[in-house]
Structures are given as C-alpha cells and as structure tokens.
Amino acid sequence: MESLYLLIPVALIFCVLVIKLLLWAIDSGQYDDLDKESWRILSDDDEQPPEKREP
C-alpha cells in the first residue's frame, strides 16, 4: 500500500509530461504534412551524383 503513495504521483507526473510533449509536437508542426515523406520515398530521383574528377 505504501508503494501506491509513490507510484500514483509518479504516474501523474509522467502523464502530464507526455501530454506536454504531445502538445509541443503538434504546435511545432510535426504532424502538419504526414504524406510528404511517404510520397518522397516512391518518387524517382533523376539527379545523378557528381562525378569525381581526378587531378
């Protein structure tokens, strides 16, 4: 029973921390464009890496 006096406040602090991190991620634009990265991996890159020049 005594362990609940420690675990309940720790769980509440953890929940508040997770909610603050989620709100920060939403406000900073982490979830604005979820489709861009999924389409980027499917697109063909026509850019060729630059050729190395020997001196």
Q: Residue 5 has which token pair?
A: 């006096």
- Where do the domains of the chain lie? 1-27
The Cα–Cα gap between 27 and 33 comes to 13
Which residue shows structure tokens 């921390």? 17
Q: How many residues does the chain have?
A: 55
At 52, give phi and psi (nearest 5°).
Answer: -80, 130
Render pLDDT for 17-51 as a digit per residue (tens, 0 to 9): 999 999 999 999 888 888 887 888 787 766 666 67
Confidence band, pLDDT 50/70/90 cuts, at residue 5: very high
Q: What is the pLDDT of residue 38?
A: 80
Question: Whole-model pTM?
Answer: 0.59
* Interacting residues of 25 by C-beta distance below 8 A, sequence separation 6+: 31
